[in-house]
Amino acid sequence: MYSPTRRTFIRQAACAALGTTGLLNTIFDLRKLSAATGPGGDYKALVCLFLYGGNDANNVIIPHDTNGYNSYLAARGALAIPQGSLLPLTLSGGRDFGFHPNLPELQTLFDQGKLALVANVGTLVAPITRAQYMSGGAAVPPQLFSHSDQSVQWQTSWPDQPARTGWGGRAADLLQSLNTGSKVSLTISIAGTNTFEVGNSVIPYQITPNGTIGLSGFNGSTNANIRLQAFKDLLAQPHNNLFEQAYADTVSRSIADNDFITTALNGVPALSTVFPSTSLGQQLAMVAKMIGARSNLSMQRQIFFVSVDGFDTHGDQLVSQANLLAELSQGMKAFYDATVEMGVAQSVTTFTASDFGRTYAINGDGSDHGWGSHQFVMGGSVLGGNLYGTFPTLAVNGPDDTGQGRWIPSTSVDEFSATMASWFGLAQSDLATVFPNIGRFAHPNLGFLA
């Protein structure tokens, strides 16, 4: 059974204040605020997998050659992963790296060309050099090493001003006409409230890994059905108070929509793919069910949000991150296998995001808040088996360091996200609407999607 942690509750509450009203979030209204019509299209889905806390990517992909590894070992000390346990990667240009040993499933996908790595991604107002950062001569994202601020900036792709919407939601605003006739929001969260999926006219629909959230106390028995009908009759009564009428209308729609979603999911054949019994595994299993129900739901485009907590590894990092990476690797591989089983692997792209990276220098048995980090992109349309972007120089006080090994991002969240939004169907002319700062960066498409 899904049970959010205290950290999750606080984080979701903070995000809710930025983008949605408490009433609509509480009762999970499925409706979009405005109707839209337009041409259909081929099915595509984006899945945002957010790693809350700031994943230490310095221990995800590690130099494997002797000189590179020895330098890594000297810098990381107690946090260094043994060289002999690294999972080797075959990269172009003679680059020699290895994955963390708890990522064998992702190594397999990488070798199969279904997984790509994007190096040193982070929030940026505009490109910046170490000299500019150290002199204070260029703008940087506000509250740079703050969990709540940086996770929201990742999700909005708009760091230089407060944003009430996320880039996924803004893309959904422009593409919702592709889902003509659907009663369900284009944006669907399995991990509670988030800013990423909030649009100006699109409201994310929330569902748990166990299914929709309906009214409790109604089990289908004769007496329960009588009580439910009485409740519906009360809601259908005219209400003079505007708030009461809005509440009654919204709850009535939510009851109907809950029944609609439940029926659609019940009509989906069970998958043979086995998902891990972890939090992420169960979230991704529900995403797979929703994708399986796409025809029943009249969906041509869907955006999903799932998450894993616990990456704020100031201490005990070797053990805690190893467990988290195993959960990540196993969950992502099972989900990819499920898309293959459903015949939609080419149509589903999954990507990771995280508050920030972590320091290359260690604090004992952990690491502190950093900046740029490496991200995964997975799917049948991914041009995988390669490392995109510019890998930082792994040296404290080196050309990419702001101090203690906090890497200045060489790829902006805008560039990373715009690449996926373009694949998803966003027109080139609409990129600036969804990513207002994209014109400040050189690569609006990084080329990792076909």
How many alpha carbons lie under 13 Å from residue 146 in its C-beta half-sphere?
10
- For residues 188 and 203, give the distance between their C-alpha atoms in angstroms, rounded to a whole number: 9
Closest to 33 (Cα-Cα) out of 47, 20, 22: 20
Instruction: Say how many C-beta atoms besides its own lie within 10 A of residue 246's C-beta.
Output: 13
Q: Which residues contact 423 (CB under 8 A, 6 or more apart)?
A: 44, 349, 381, 449
Residue 253 lies in a domain: no
Residue 127 lies in a domain: yes
Q: Residue 40: its pLDDT value, please?
A: 38
Surface-to-core class of residue 346, CB atoms within 10 Å of its CB (0-12 exposed, 13-18 middle, 19+ buried): middle
Q: Residue 95: its pLDDT value, please?
A: 85
Q: Residue 13: its pLDDT value, please?
A: 46
Q: Domain with 59 in it: what CATH number?
A: 3.40.720
Tokens of 242: 């505007």
What strands lie across the sheet with 87-90, from one edge to the other? 61-63, 96-99, 87-90
Q: Residue 253: its pLDDT value, please?
A: 84
Q: Residue 214: its pLDDT value, please?
A: 84
Domain that holds residue 120: 6-214+269-440
The number of residues making up the chain comes to 450
Closest to 62 (Cα-Cα) out of 124, 109, 117, 111: 117
> pLDDT 10s per residue in the chain (450 long)?
444 554 554 455 444 434 333 333 333 333 333 333 333 349 999 999 999 999 999 999 999 999 999 999 999 999 999 999 999 998 877 789 999 999 999 999 999 999 999 999 999 999 999 999 999 989 999 999 999 999 999 999 999 888 899 999 999 999 999 999 899 999 999 999 999 999 999 999 999 999 998 888 888 899 999 999 999 999 999 999 999 999 999 899 888 888 999 999 999 999 999 999 999 999 999 999 999 999 999 999 999 999 999 999 999 999 999 999 999 999 999 999 999 999 999 999 999 999 999 999 999 999 999 999 999 999 999 999 999 999 999 999 999 999 999 999 999 999 999 999 999 999 999 999 999 999 999 999 999 999
Residue 191 lies in a domain: yes
Q: Residue 5: its pLDDT value, please?
A: 54
Q: For 449, which DSSP code?
A: B
From residue 376, how far is each of 184, 323, 329 by CA, in Å? 28, 18, 11
CA angle 385, 55, 410 (to 5 degrees): 60
Domain count, the chain: 1
Q: Residue 36: its pLDDT value, please?
A: 32
Q: Residue 215: its pLDDT value, please?
A: 86
Residue 384 lies in a domain: yes
Q: Residue 22: its pLDDT value, please?
A: 32
Q: Residue 7: its pLDDT value, please?
A: 52
Q: Are 190 and 331 in contact (CB under 8 A)?
A: no
3-state secondary structure of 100: coil
Q: Are 399 and 393 in contact (CB under 8 A)?
A: yes
Q: Residue 216: its pLDDT value, please?
A: 84
Cα 313–chain centre separation: 20
Residue 234 lies in a domain: no
Is this prediction's pTM over 0.95? no
Surface-to-core class of residue 233, CB atoms within 10 Å of its CB (0-12 exposed, 13-18 middle, 19+ buried): exposed
Residue 240 lies in a domain: no
Residue 450 lies in a domain: no
Provide the b/e sequence for 105-137 (b: ≥16 CB within 10 Å).
bbbebbeeebbbbbbbbbbbbeebebeebeeee
Residue 312 lies in a domain: yes
Query: Is beta strand 387-388 parallel, antiparallel or unpaired with respect to 115-122?
Result: parallel
Closest to 151 (Cα-Cα) out of 259, 12, 26: 12
Q: Residue 11: its pLDDT value, please?
A: 52
| Four-residue CA torsion sign, 124, 110, 270, 210 | negative
Q: Residue 151: its pLDDT value, please?
A: 97
